[in-house]
Amino acid sequence: MKKLLHPVTITLFVIVLLLSLPMLLPKKEIVPTDAQLRQAAASHNLVPIPKTYHGVLKATYNPENPPSEAKIALGQQLYFDTRLSRDKTISCATCHLLQEGGDDNRPTAIGYHGRANPKHLNSPTVLNAALAKAQFWDGRAKDVEEQAGGPVQAPFEMNMTPQEVEARLNADPEVRHQFETVFGEGNVTFENVRKAIGAYERTLLTRGAYDRFLEGDDHAISAAAKRGMTLFVTKGCAGCHTGMSVGGQSMQHFPLRRYFSDYLGLIFEPNIRLKESPFPFVNEGGFLGKNNELKFRVPILRNITKTAPYFHNGMVKKLEEAVRIMSKYQVGQEFTKTQIADVVAFLKTLDGKIVKK
């Protein structure tokens, strides 16, 4: 019996040892080549912004609002026109500063007479927004043309009605002439105001080091950025932050995961306001996404280093913390400090400049 038992025991021991080796031995990190990384990015539709202005117009073309040089010029003029606000102090550019990442760098926008968004919503970037499939945090507008009419009418933003906008602009003979040239109509209509602004916003695409890397320049981004991009693609980030805009292509549930450990701190800090929030930060403003279902339009990550603070209510100040939260609550694997640093290095490559004529 002992003779039979001995080889059986040895065999079982060997089997257990072999099965345990993957856990006992450190995993060898697989580092893709630059070509492989580009191929992996392409599989998630992570493609570069066109190099030329003509390419930008083609990439953002809206058949319901075909662009023209005059329409874009009119839209640019209106984008900076404070007459679209009741007290003539606020324009689209007030909350969407093109030199500051396309937003205002505030937790929530401040509008007419210093009013803040009642739901404490953070202003999304206007840069590359034309590439998104929906606008606003809850995705309620289908495109930038529809979105352009929202802030104008919101009482806590520009506080105007379509009729008031039309009356104010129609009082300017030069503006009426411009609208007639572009739209063939002598009178200004609110719909055409939206179309002109939308046509201009469709030109606001940005390119940077990330695009040059995708196009074949191996030296465009650092080794750390390549490691971060590898994590971004392989760990699931690119599943939602996809497309030419690196986001804005879908509505997603947030947070996907919850942890019992998040609630342990409440025992020792009973006054902490996180207990009132479904998010891993205070839910200032009480916004719960589309239909109160915790569904949000996926943010556009281009120029993300310039659009702090983060998340829908701007409660997270640091990009590193935003990456940590997303890795833990969306990916389901909290990144280490080194991994976070690499991902941030990659995100910095998404900074870019507007493609000019």
How far is Cα 106 from Cα 129, in angstroms, rounded to an integer? 18
The answer to whether the beta carbons of residues 328 and 257 sit under 8 Å apart is yes
Cα 122 to chain centroid distance, Å, stands at 11
Q: Report DSSP letters for 200-268, one per residue.
A: HHTT--EE-HHHHHHTT-TTSS-HHHHHHHHHHHHSSHHHHS-TTTTS-S-EEES-S---THHHHHHHH
> How many CA within 13 A on the CB side of residue 268?
4
What is the rounded distance in angstroms from the CA atom of residue 231 to the CA atom of residue 343?
A: 7
Reading the block at residue 28, the tokens are 């060898």
Catalytic residues: 157
Rounded to 10 degrees, what is the CA torsion of 132, 137, 138, 144?
-40
